[in-house]
Chain A
């Protein structure tokens, strides 16, 4: 049981109730009646493409913006009324690299530690794993670090005051694959220390690394659940198809009345049929062959979060 989880029922929890936020005098809706709850000690992911409203939500939760309607609480404090209290306890890593490029690694960490009224030594155990990796470069200016190292330093700076809730806005955007994987390992270790973590990412493959995720699109939450449950929610049988001419195949499949939806997915086209029918696959093979395709391959595949996301998204935009 983490120390700060015992002290209060709502400690570490984040509650969002009917949040709506618009920009430019209401013409652009960033958040549309969003509600959810994050339990203390949870690793919660907000998954959605650019412009889905993730950063806006984070900024409201970190008291940087105020919502048009709705309420939100962090650690049991209201984000508007008790903004000072929230600022004392949370850790926030903005989407853009937000450290001082002209200060060295050590100076940055020192500055943020002091700003939060603590010292590096006091909370070194929290950042040790991460800081050890960038320590060889502690005298290097932050602006001269690689993308992955910048992220590690930013995480250290957001962690150094032992926050109850950690808000990470797209921490892995623009970071190489290896560093991304490392980063998620670190997040899981932090979670074990009892820190509630809210992380946003546009990468669907990172979603499975969270305990629970919210799929968000154009300011609306499409689904909230564990990654497994979200994948299980995929309603149809999913197939992957390919031919030697993918772009033309995509057009041809879209023209076929038995196909409900199809979209490019890596080297394949993912597709779902309108009706589950054993004749579907052979029928479609014939159809593609008639259209003059060669190298036709159609096989069943397990849906991923991305498939579910696309599925939810199309339902959202084309009400049946």
Chain B
């Protein structure tokens, strides 16, 4: 037992004395979260908006002035025709257009129903969604205000059209994806590299010719990274909540427990990679290419899985990050409890056990 503790302490020395490892551990998540957070920020401001007002009546002008006073929009110009609007879109002068049909006020007063149309440039799908949401919100506010004094409820229908990219990639919730990605990188890469380093430097030879059990080598190697990964997870969560205002709606404890499970999964993967590679570079490459790419592609946080060809969907099922991503989304963003994620959890438990089993079994007690 004392041997194990001293071994683990030694591993911590390795981590804290290597600036590169520290950078990967703590610099990477911070940079990623902030980059993803601001680059993919759902907050869009100073949107150039074109208004095509065919009605030019009191109601339409009220809506336009509300839009104008919002801090999100720059009202570029009054656009007279559809053709002019399309030109403006093509020339990138506007990113969205609000179209109010002729007789808007009349429709609203007499039939209590009216229509507006919102068109957004969806080549940047996230921004487009946000923009249409803002506009819909402003119009909804106006409708509520009218209804406060009205006998019969008014209804303004908003018809939304996404230009250029009709099927939006809807998810803005990248935090779970980034979480999965970073834990994957930190656990898998760093663990595999730290084991392979012992092989490369020849210290593994000395370790093997000692009474210390080979299995304990793996445990001692993995433990620091388990601890550090949980620290990393906390760091990401803090950044997400306090810098990016992402709420944690579900149980924090459950989130931690599920993350620990995912981390064990990744650590086992790292150990497995270290069993079959002999140099740090190969281990690094294997973890990066073998793990990071599938994590990026097959978790569904960058590319929706439903749109993928069936074979790729099958592949996605063996990517642990995919299940973890679903779990985090459910707990963190939807506020669901264990009952909602037990299936995904079961899959992860199965994967962790299988991977751990394989990596322990394949650990070589000799050199070749």
Interface residues of A (CB under 8 A from B): 59, 62-66, 83-84, 87-88, 90, 92, 94, 96-103, 107, 110-112, 114-117, 157-158
The 0/1 profile, CB within 8 Å of A marked 1, for residues 298-312 of chain B is: 000000000000000
**What residues of chain A lie closer than 8 Å to B210, measured between beta carbons?**
87, 112, 115-116
Least CB distance from A55 to B in Å reads 10
Asked if B6 is an interface residue, CB under 8 A from chain A, the answer is yes
Instruction: State in angstroms the CA–CA spacing of A157 and B203 once bound together.
Output: 12
CB-defined A-B contacts under 8 Å, sample of 8: A64-B208, A92-B205, A97-B202, A98-B201, A99-B206, A117-B3, A157-B206, A158-B206
- The residue of chain B having its C-beta at the shortest distance from the C-beta of A84 within the complex is B211
User: Is A66 a contact partner of B206 (Cβ separation < 8 A)?
Assistant: no
Least CB distance from A84 to B in Å reads 8
Once A64-B367, A102-B14, A115-B210 are accepted as A-B contacts, the answer to whether A94 and B6 lie under 8 Å apart by CB is no
Instruction: State in angstroms the CA–CA spacing of A83 and B207 once bound together.
Output: 14
Instruction: State in angstroms the CA–CA spacing of A103 and B237 once bound together.
Output: 33
**What residues of chain B lie closer than 8 Å to A158, measured between beta carbons?**
206
Instruction: State in angstroms the CA–CA spacing of A240 and B39 once bound together.
Output: 80
**What residues of chain A lie closer than 8 Å to B206, measured between beta carbons?**
92, 94, 98-99, 112, 157-158
Instruction: State in angstroms the CA–CA spacing of A92 and B202 once bound together.
Output: 12
From 16 to 32 in chain B, residues with beta carbon under 8 angstroms from any chain A beta carbon are 17-18
From 196 to 223 in chain B, residues with beta carbon under 8 angstroms from any chain A beta carbon are 201-203, 205-212
User: Is A63 a contact partner of B366 (Cβ separation < 8 A)?
Assistant: yes
User: Is B208 a contact partner of A87 (Cβ separation < 8 A)?
Assistant: yes
Instruction: State in angstroms the CA–CA spacing of A268 and B367 once bound together.
Output: 43
User: Is B203 a contact partner of A98 (Cβ separation < 8 A)?
Assistant: yes
Least CB distance from B220 to A in Å reads 10
Asked if B10 is an interface residue, CB under 8 A from chain A, the answer is yes
Least CB distance from A106 to B in Å reads 12
- Among candidates A88, A90, A96, residue contacting B202 with C-beta atoms closer than 8 Å: A96
**What residues of chain A lie closer than 8 Å to B365, measured between beta carbons?**
83
User: Is A102 a contact partner of B209 (Cβ separation < 8 A)?
Assistant: no
- The residue of chain B having its C-beta at the shortest distance from the C-beta of A98 within the complex is B202
- Among candidates A64, A66, A88, A107, residue contacting B13 with C-beta atoms closer than 8 Å: A107
Least CB distance from A62 to B in Å reads 5
User: Is A115 a contact partner of B6 (Cβ separation < 8 A)?
Assistant: yes
> For B208, B209, B212, which residue has the most chain A Cβ atoms within 10 angstroms?
B209
With A66-B366, A101-B201, A107-B13 given, name 5 new contacts (CB 8 A): A64-B209, A83-B366, A102-B13, A114-B6, A115-B212
Instruction: State in angstroms the CA–CA spacing of A266 and B117 once bound together.
Output: 96
User: Is B18 a contact partner of A102 (Cβ separation < 8 A)?
Assistant: yes
**What residues of chain B lie closer than 8 Å to A62, measured between beta carbons?**
205, 209
Asked if B110 is an interface residue, CB under 8 A from chain A, the answer is no
User: Is B3 a contact partner of A115 (Cβ separation < 8 A)?
Assistant: yes
User: Is B207 a contact partner of A115 (Cβ separation < 8 A)?
Assistant: yes
- The residue of chain B having its C-beta at the shortest distance from the C-beta of A108 within the complex is B10
Asked if B368 is an interface residue, CB under 8 A from chain A, the answer is yes
Top 4 closest pairs, chain A to chain B, by CB: A98-B202, A114-B6, A92-B209, A96-B202
User: Is B10 a contact partner of A111 (Cβ separation < 8 A)?
Assistant: yes
**What residues of chain A lie closer than 8 Å to B10, measured between beta carbons?**
100, 103, 107, 111
- Among candidates B7, B211, B366, residue contacting A116 with C-beta atoms closer than 8 Å: B211
Least CB distance from A165 to B in Å reads 11
**What residues of chain B lie closer than 8 Å to A83, measured between beta carbons?**
365-366
Instruction: State in angstroms the CA–CA spacing of A116 and B7 once bound together.
Output: 12
- The residue of chain A having its C-beta at the shortest distance from the C-beta of B15 within the complex is A102
> For A97, A114, A116, which residue has the most chain B Cβ atoms within 10 angstroms?
A114
Least CB distance from B21 to A in Å reads 10
**What residues of chain B lie closer than 8 Å to A111, measured between beta carbons?**
6-7, 10
Least CB distance from A27 to B in Å reads 15
Least CB distance from A68 to B in Å reads 12
**What residues of chain A lie closer than 8 Å to B368, measured between beta carbons?**
65
**What residues of chain B lie closer than 8 Å to A110, measured between beta carbons?**
6
**What residues of chain B lie closer than 8 Å to A64, measured between beta carbons?**
205, 208-209, 366-367
Once A59-B367, A115-B7 are accepted as A-B contacts, the answer to whether A94 and B202 lie under 8 Å apart by CB is yes
The 0/1 profile, CB within 8 Å of A marked 1, for residues 67-88 of chain B is: 0000000000000000000000
Instruction: State in angstroms the CA–CA spacing of A92 and B207 once bound together.
Output: 10
**What residues of chain B lie closer than 8 Å to A90, measured between beta carbons?**
209
Instruction: State in angstroms the CA–CA spacing of A115 and B207 once bound together.
Output: 8
> For A92, A107, A115, which residue has the most chain B Cβ atoms within 10 angstroms?
A115
- The residue of chain B having its C-beta at the shortest distance from the C-beta of A157 within the complex is B206
**What residues of chain B lie closer than 8 Å to A97, measured between beta carbons?**
202
- The residue of chain B having its C-beta at the shortest distance from the C-beta of A87 within the complex is B209
Least CB distance from A108 to B in Å reads 9
**What residues of chain A lie closer than 8 Å to B3, measured between beta carbons?**
114-115, 117
- The residue of chain B having its C-beta at the shortest distance from the C-beta of A113 within the complex is B6
**What residues of chain B lie closer than 8 Å to A117, measured between beta carbons?**
3, 211
Least CB distance from B324 to A in Å reads 32
User: Is B209 a contact partner of A114 (Cβ separation < 8 A)?
Assistant: no
- The residue of chain A having its C-beta at the shortest distance from the C-beta of B207 within the complex is A115
Least CB distance from A96 to B in Å reads 4
**What residues of chain B lie closer than 8 Å to A63, measured between beta carbons?**
208-209, 366
**What residues of chain B lie closer than 8 Å to A102, measured between beta carbons?**
13-14, 17-18
Least CB distance from A118 to B in Å reads 10
Least CB distance from A114 to B in Å reads 4
User: Is B366 a contact partner of A98 (Cβ separation < 8 A)?
Assistant: no
Least CB distance from B20 to A in Å reads 12
**What residues of chain A lie closer than 8 Å to B209, measured between beta carbons?**
62-64, 87, 90, 92
- The residue of chain A having its C-beta at the shortest distance from the C-beta of B205 within the complex is A94
Least CB distance from A205 to B in Å reads 26
Instruction: State in angstroms the CA–CA spacing of A117 and B6 once bound together.
Output: 11
